[in-house]
Amino acid sequence: MKSKSFFILLVIGNLLTIEAQEKKESTTMNPFFQAYDTPYNVPPFDKIKNEHFKPAILEGIKRHEEEISTIANSSSAPTFDNTILAMENAGELLSNVNTVFSNLNSANTSKEIQNIAKEVAPNLSAHRDNIYLNEKLFTRVKTLWDKKESLGLNLEQAKILDNTYKDFVRSGANLSNADKEILRKINGQLSLISLKYGQNILAETNKYELVIGDKKDLAGLPQGLIDAAAADAKAKGKEGKWVFTLSNSSVMPFLQYSSNRELRKQIWNAYQTKGNHDDELDNKKNAIDLANLRGQKARLLGFKTHSNYVLEESMAKTPENAKKLLNDLWKPALEIAKTEAADIQKMMAKDGIKGAVQPYDWRYYTEKIRKERFDLDEEELKPYFSLENVRKGVFQVTEKLYGIQFKELNNVPKYHPDASVWEVKEADGTHIGIFYMDFHPRDSKRGGAWMTSYRTQKTVDGKRLAPVISIVCNFTKPSGETPALLTFDEVSTFFHEFGHALHGLLSNVTYRSLAGTSVPRDFVELPSQIMENWAAEPEVLKMYAIHYKTGKTIPDDLVNKLKKAGTFDQGFVTTEYLAASFLDLAYHSQTKDITVDANTFEKEAMSKIGLIESIIPRYRSTYFSHIFSGGYSSGYYSYIWSGVLDTDAFEAFKTTSLFNPEKAKSFRENVLEKGGTEDPMVLYKRFRGAEPSVEPLLRKRGLDKKEESLKKIQG
C-alpha cells in the first residue's frame, strides 16, 4: 500500500509537470521568444498579441540581468570585449520586445497596452537602476576608462567606452548607497508620471468634439475639411452633422478658415486647455512633479539644475549657451510679431471687431492677409500636394542626392493597415533597410509626427545588419474620392521626418548604441531640417507638385507666390516656438523645487520674456509632450540650434547646385552615416569646412534686418 506522502509527492510532481508544460507552451506561442521568421526579420506584427508583451518584457529583464551578472562577476580581468562589448550585445530579447511595445504604445495603443505600460514601468526603471548602480560592473568599466589611452582602441571603441563610463556616472554610480536608494525612488516616480502625462494628452485629444449641426456654421471652411468632418461624424454615429477634433489636421485648418469667431474661440480654448481641467486627466501637477523630480535628481548627481545635467552632453554644453541663442533671436522675432499683430488689428477693425488680437484670431486673419498681400490661398496649393505625389517627390529628391531607391513591399507584416512598408536599396540594388510609413490620425495614435526604429543598424562579423525604420504622422485624411491633400506645412513635416529616417537608414557604424539618431538633441534635427529646405525650392516643387485632378505641374505664378510669402508670419512662428523653448528651460533650470502651480509658473515665465497676449507658447505646460513625456526636456531649443546648422549646411547646395553629388556624398559620409561616433561639431566641420554661420537662418526667417550682430554659434 502506497503511503500518503507518496501520493502528495505524486500530485506535486504532476502539478510541476503541468506548470513546466504550460510555461513551455507559453514560451513556444510567444513570438518574442523565437527568432523572427519574417521577411527581412521585421517584427512579426501579425502574430504579436497584447498578452505577449508583459511576459516577454519580464523574461527579457530576467535574461538581461543574468547576462549583466555574468559580466560583472567575471573572474577575468576586464577587457573591452568581455565588458564593454559584452554589455553592448546583452539584453537582445528585452530590446526587441520593448522596442515594439513602446512604439505601439505611441502609434497604435489601446487601454490594454496602456495598462501594461503602467504595470511594467516600475520593473523597467528598477532594471535600469540595477545595471547602472551595480558596483562590480562599474568597477570593471572604470578600470578600462582609467587606462583607455593604453588600450589601443579605435575611434568607435573609444567613443563607446567613454559613453558607457559617462552613462554610469550620470546614472549615479558614484553615489553613496543611501543616495542610490533615493535615486531609485526618483527614477521610478519619473517613469510612471511621464507615462501618465502622455496618456492624459491622448485621452484629452480623443475626448473633445466640436459638433456642428447647422450648415451656416461651416462658413469659410474649405470643402475638403467639411467632407472630412462629415466622415468623422459618420464614423462616430453622428451622421448628418460635422465633427471637428483636436487633431492638428482638424483644429488648425478650422482656426485658419472658419469665419465664425465664437466657434474658433470654442475649439481654441479646448485646444489650449488640454490637460488643464482639474479632473482625472489634469496634467498641472504632473508637469510640476516631473520638473521637480528631475531637479532633485540632477542636484543629487552634483549638477546645479536638470538643464545643466542634460546639456552637458549637448552641442550647447550649458543652459547659458542655449539661452543666448534664444535671447539673440527673441528680440527681432518679437518685434516682427508685434508688427504682424498690428496688421491683424487693422483687418479686424474693418470687420467691426474691437479689442486686442486674440490667439484664436491669429491664424484666421493671417490667412486673409496672406491672400490679400500675396494673392496666395493655401487651399489653392493643396490640390498640388496629394500625399502620393509628395511621397514620390521625397523619394525623387533622395534618389537624386544619394542614389537610393524605394520598393513597396506587400509581403511584410504591418502593425496597422494604414502603414505601408518599403525596401530601401542602393543604386546597385544593395539592401539598405526597411522603412515603414504611417500617415493619418486615429484614436490609437498620439498627436504630432516622429521617426522611430524597430531595429537599429549595427555591424556583426564585418557584415552590416540593416535597420528597420518608421515615420509616424497625423496628416489630413483622404475624403471620399478625394485623396489626402496636404498643406505646405504638412509637406514640410513629411520632408522633415524623412530626413530623420535617412539618418537611421543610412547609418553605417559598428555599434548599435552609436547608430543613426544616437546623437545629441541639438544635432539630431540637422538631418531632418535640412531636408525641409528642398521642399520649397522651385526646381523641386516642379518635381512633385502635380495637380491631383488635371495632372498639371504647379504653375510658375503659384511657385513665385509661395516663395514671396516665404518669410510671411515668421514673427509669429518664431515667437511661439521660442516661447516654448524658454518655458522648457524655465522649468528645468530651477535650483530648488517649484512651489507654485503650472499655470502660475507658466504665466510668470512668459511675462519675464515679454510674450504678447495674442500669442501663447507653441505648447503649454499641460500638453508639452516633447519635454514631459517625449525625451526633449531642456532640449526643445534644439530645433532652432539645428536650424542654424541646417540653413548653413543647405547653403553648400544652394550656392553650387541643389543636387551637387560631391556635397551630397560628403553629407552622407560625414553626417548621415556616422551616427554618434564623433563630436557633432567635428562631423559638421568635416562636411562644411567651417563652423556654421547664423546669417542663413536669419535670412530664411526674415530676421536678418533686425539683428546683425550674430555671426557664429560656437560649439
Is 355 exposed, middle or buried, given 0-12, 13-18 or 19+ CB atoms closer than 10 A?
Answer: exposed
The neighbouring-strand residues paired with 435 are 422, 469
Least Cα distance to 326 among 680, 708, 641 occurs for 641
Intra-chain end-to-end CA distance of the chain, in Å: 86
Roughly what angle, to the nearest 10 degrees, separates helices 680-688 and 521-535? 30
CB 522 within 8 A of CB 419: no
Q: How far apart are CA 11 and CA 13, in angstroms?
A: 5
Q: How far apart are CA 144 and CA 619, in angstroms?
A: 44
User: Using alpha carbons only, how large is the chain's radius of gyration in Å?
Assistant: 27
Q: How far apart are CA 538 and CA 535, in angstroms?
A: 9
Q: How far apart are CA 109 and CA 406, in angstroms?
A: 28
Helices assigned H by DSSP within 73-176? 86-89, 92-107, 111-132, 135-146, 155-170
Give the chain's largest Cα–Cα span: 106
Q: How far apart are CA 122 and CA 65, in angstroms?
A: 15
How many CB atoms are closer than 10 A to CB 578? 25
Give me the numbers of helices (H) and strands (E) for the chain, helices first please. 28, 9
Q: How far apart are CA 619 and CA 603, in angstroms?
A: 13
Whole-number Cα distances in Å, 243 to 212, 332, 480: 6, 39, 16
Find the catalytic residue in 497, 525, 532, 673: 497
β-bridge pairing 431-438 and 468-472: parallel
**DSSP label at 78?**
P
Task: Report the length, in residues, of the chain.
Answer: 715
At a CB cut-off of 8 Å and minimum separation 6, what does 698 contact?
Answer: 332, 704, 707, 710
* 497 is an active site residue: yes
Amino acid sitting at position 290: L
Sign of the Cα pseudo-torsion (422, 424, 429, 432, in order): negative
Least Cα distance to 232 among 214, 219, 250 occurs for 250
CB 367 within 8 A of CB 378: yes
Q: How far apart are CA 141 and CA 68, in angstroms?
A: 12
Instruction: Please report where in the chains the cell 486674440 appears, as a residue.
Output: 358
Q: What would the DSSP string read from start to end of 603-641?
A: HHHHHHHT--TT---SS-GGG-HHHHTSS-TTTTTHHHH
Residues with a known catalytic role: 497
